[in-house]
Every structure is written in structure tokens, then in C-alpha cells.
Amino acid sequence: MTFTRPKFRHPDLPPNALGYTRRDYEGALSTLCAGCGHDSISNAIIQACYELPVEPHRVVKMSGIGCSSKTPAYFLGKSHGFNSVHGRMPAIATGANMANRDLLYLGVSGDGDTASIGLGQFTHVVRRNLNMVYIVMNNGCYGLTKGQDSATADRGSTSKKGTPNPFESIDLCELALQIGAGFVARGFSGDKSQLVPLLKAAMSCRGFSLVDVISPCVTFNNTSASTKSYQYVRDHAEATGTVDLVPPRQEIVTDYQDGATQEVTLHDGSVIFLHKEEGSRSITDRRAAIDALESHRAENRILTGILYCMDDGGDTHEMIKTTLQPLNSILQEDLCPGNAALQQLMEGYR
């Protein structure tokens, strides 16, 4: 029996500001396990792109290998996608971004893809502050090879395999903070009301935006002793605050009286409003963000929400001073100096 999704949608689907309905952001039917957190993230991406809004064909989807990296087939079917090789998505994304700086690069990776085989490429794309959104669908295990612990599995966490993980875990958010990411956030696939605004903010920020999303693996790592299970995350998550992203050119009507609201204005004029918990740290202070992560970790709490946001770093193009024109659109006339110049150049070699 085949497995397809009906073409019919709710007849009242409203168009966004660009005239697209949510349907225009959908992709093919997922072939991941039923209940996989990744599917929820795919849907959050669809929702974020629809709400922001972005034009579907101006988005480029990038991924590596693994369950997570299959997902770009499941959202934004009108966007080009590139499912590359294991752990190497950052390189492909870097090249693609170099070729055309005007598109929105949406990288999707997993914890194996990012924290193990791709850790090198991950750190370097962060330190170059490539203008992209990098979403980690973090389930603490290798799904496609049937449930081995990954490098983000917490020490002592036990997957379906039954043996507690003996190794220290890598906190990708903390790592990204240390090496210069412009935007760092942590979400949970089971909380779209938080995840969608996080993704929208990430897409609005210039530079490297990491959204590490804890995404339970229902098949291999949703056990009662796993720290990446729906139940554990629900019991231990604590948000830095709730987030609103007000896009540019939209009147800010929300009235934030309380002193606990922090505003961050982005390069394009969007404003992130963060309604913080009592005693929360500033999200524009890198060191405070690292402190917050560490102190929560010490208490076995999972800090979620926007951890850090600084939109003024300058992305790779700014760092290496490339032209503002997309390189893939420059004409031969402007690239090839011509024979006269060549002959002049030849003189130097005589």
C-alpha cells in the first residue's frame, strides 16, 4: 500500500503578506518514524517561513546525512535543497552562500552530523559567521543506524540500548557561543509555540544563527532514563523567556510595560522582544549566556529559548569583503579582463 498525503487542505487557508498560503511551504511526506520530533521541527520551519514571511524559492535548504538531514525533503518543496554528505553540510552551505549572498540558507543537521563527524566543519562555519540558519535536530542518538549514543547524549543518559552513556556530552550552544555565533537558541520539538518564534528570529538575524532543537527519538531514545525524551525535557526545560519577533515595516503595537522585556533590533529593522523570567540574564551578553547554560546544566535543568543574539558581527562576506552583488550573477564582461589586459600582463613575464 502506498502512503501519500491528500492534496486537500483547509479551504480557508489564509495567504500571508506575500500571497502564499501555508501549503506553499510544505514538502513531501515524511518517511521518518511516526512521532519523530524532527517532523515537528519541519512543521515549525514551515510555519516560521510562512509567518515571517519568506518567498519559498528564495530559501535554500542544506543538510548532511542522517534522519535529520532527510527532513529538507519534507518542507519547502518549492525551494532548492541539497542533501550532501555526512557532516559536510557547512562546506556546501558556505560555497552556496558565497555564490549568492541574497538567499536564505537554511541548514538542517543532526547531532551526529554536527557534533561528531561534522564537528570540524561546524566550528569553522560558526567562526566565519556564515549568514545562515543552522538547525540541529538533536536527539542524542544515531537513528538511521539504530540507536547508538551520539556526542550530545548526556553522560548517564540511557537509550533503548540500555547502557548508560559513559562519555561527556557536547553542548553545541555553548560551543557556538565560544566561537562567535551571532545568534544562539535552544528549542524543543514538543513546544512549537516557542520554537516557531525562535526560528523566525534566527531567520531574521544576519550571520550564523544556531537553533539547537531537542527532538526526541521516539524509536530509540524516548526511554524513561533518557534526558532527550519528551517527558524528561518537559519536566526539566526552563525558558529564558517568551519571544516575539516583529518584522520590519510592521508597526510595533505590543505594549511591553514590564521591565523584564528586552528588545533587540536587527539589521533589517526587525525587533525581537524577549519577555524574560525574573532574574534572567541579558541575551546580548555572550559571557552571561555561557554562565546561564553552565548553571542550568549543573542543576540538571535545560535552558531553552534565545540564549544570545548580536546582529552586528558581520558575516563571512563582510569579513572577506566580497561585492554586494551575488557572485553567480556577475556577467562575463565584469569577470574577464580581456585580451588587451592579458597582453599587458604578459609583459611582466618577459
* Stretch near other proteins under the rule CB under 8 A, chosen from 178-186, 212-220, 253-261, 276-284: 212-220
- Cβ closest to other proteins, residue 218 vs residue 288: 218
Beta 183-188 vs 208-214: how paired, if at all? parallel
* Member of 216, 223, 303, 308 binding other proteins (CB under 8 A): 216
223 touches other proteins (CB under 8 A): no
72 touches other proteins (CB under 8 A): yes
11 touches other proteins (CB under 8 A): yes
- Residue 139 and residue 110 in contact, taking contact as beta carbons nearer than 8 Å: yes
224 touches other proteins (CB under 8 A): no
Shortest distance, CB of residue 207 to other proteins, whole angstroms?
16
* Member of 52, 91, 132, 213 binding other proteins (CB under 8 A): 91
| Positions in 29-68 near other proteins (CB under 8 A) | 30, 33-37, 39-40, 42-43, 55-58, 60-62
The residues with which 306 forms a beta bridge, in sequence order, are 185
Q: Cα separation of 126 and 286, whole Å?
A: 14
| Count of residues in the chain | 350
- Torsion-angle region of residue 146: left (phi > 0), alpha (psi -120 to 50) or beta? left
| Positions in 307-346 near other proteins (CB under 8 A) | 316-317, 320-325, 327-330, 332, 334-339, 341-343, 345-346
What is the gyration radius of the CA atoms in the chain, in angstroms?
A: 21
234 touches other proteins (CB under 8 A): yes
Shortest distance, CB of residue 309 to other proteins, whole angstroms?
25
Half-sphere exposure of 309 (CA within 13 A, CB side): 33
Shortest distance, CB of residue 162 to other proteins, whole angstroms?
20
**What does the per-residue mask of binding to other proteins show for 290-309, with x meaning CB under 8 A?**
--------------------
- Residue 271 and residue 252 in contact, taking contact as beta carbons nearer than 8 Å: yes
80 touches other proteins (CB under 8 A): yes
6 touches other proteins (CB under 8 A): yes
Shortest distance, CB of residue 140 to other proteins, whole angstroms?
16
Shortest distance, CB of residue 147 to other proteins, whole angstroms?
15
211, containing H or E segment: strand 208-214
Measured at the alpha carbon of residue 41, what is the angle toward residues 215 and 208, in degrees to the nearest 5?
95
**What does the per-residue mask of binding to other proteins show for 96-135, with x meaning CB under 8 A?**
xxxxx-xx----------------xx-xx---x-------
Shortest distance, CB of residue 30 to other proteins, whole angstroms?
8
Shortest distance, CB of residue 74 to other proteins, whole angstroms?
10
| Positions in 137-196 near other proteins (CB under 8 A) | 189-190, 192
Q: Cα separation of 175 and 89, whole Å?
A: 18
Half-sphere exposure of 163 (CA within 13 A, CB side): 6
- Cβ closest to other proteins, residue 132 vs residue 283: 132
Q: Which amino acid is at 109?
A: S
Beta 271-276 vs 261-265: how paired, if at all? antiparallel
- Cβ closest to other proteins, residue 140 vs residue 271: 140
Nearest to 246 by CA among 230, 228, 270: 270
How many other C-beta atoms lie within 10 A of the C-beta of residue 251? 6
Nearest to 216 by CA among 234, 225, 226, 228: 228
